[in-house]
Structure formats: C-alpha cells, structure tokens
C-alpha cells in the first residue's frame, strides 16, 4: 500500500509549486487514482526522536514512515536521506530512490 502523511503532501505541493507548477494538477490526479492512503502527521515525540538522526525539516517525513511501519521510504532527496548516519541508525525500514525501489524491490 502506498501512503503519505499530511506533512509530506504539504511539502510535495510546495516543491512542485516552486519548481514545476504545471505539475500540480497531475499530483491531484495521481493521489486520486493511485489510491495513496493519507495518514495523519506523526506524533511530536517521534519527530523529536528523528531530529537526532536527520535535519529538523525532514524529521516529520522520517517519523511518519516509522509511525506507519513502512517497509520503505521512497525519496529523491539523496542529500538528506542517503546518509551514513541514517544507514547506521538501525531504522526499521529501507530508504531508497524510486529507481532503486522499482529495480530492486518491486514485485510484479
């Protein structure tokens, strides 16, 4: 099941609006047809714990994936999410790019 929390969607809309405003309409269609489950934002305590291993602005994304018990966190943000600190933190999920996810983990 694909899922995202409200914070992720807010950030996604902001980035699209800034970099690719013409794609905002496509995001709405994707959310409608991909059956992405929209979850509530993560608990503050989990966000605060996540700040210990990732920057504050990315902590709600990581905390949301942990709270949702996700198997994967799929992101294009290599700089902030593909760090040695995160890799060695013992997280209960795998952080990958979309390309890696589809090449190595997607099961038809």
3-state secondary structure of 87: helix
pLDDT tens by residue, the chain, 108 residues: 889 999 999 999 999 999 999 999 998 888 888 888 899 999 999 999 999 999 999 999 999 999 999 999 999 999 999 999 999 999 999 999 999 999 999 876
- 29: exposed, middle or buried (Cβ count in 10 Å: 0-12, 13-18, 19+): exposed
**Model pTM?**
0.88
For residue 39, the cross-strand partners are 5
> What local confidence, expressed as pLDDT, does residue 90 receive?
95
DSSP secondary structure code for residue 21 in this structure: G
Per-residue pLDDT at 107: 76
pLDDT number for residue 44: 97
Tokens 């992720």: give the residue: 8
Q: How far apart are CA 1 and CA 5, in angstroms?
A: 13
């Amino acid at each position: 099941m694909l899922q995202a929390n409200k914070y992720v969607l807010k950030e996604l809309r902001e980035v699209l609006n800034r970099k690719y405003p013409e794609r905002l309409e496509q995001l709405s269609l994707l959310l409608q047809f991909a059956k992405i489950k929209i979850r509530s934002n993560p608990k503050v305590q989990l966000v605060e714990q996540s700040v210990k291993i990732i920057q504050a602005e990315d902590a709600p994304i990581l905390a949301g994936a942990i709270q949702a018990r996700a198997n994967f966190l799929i992101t294009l943000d290599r700089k902030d999410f593909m760090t040695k600190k995160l890799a060695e933190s013992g997280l209960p999920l795998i952080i990958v790019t979309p390309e890696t996810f589809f090449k190595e983990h997607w099961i038809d």
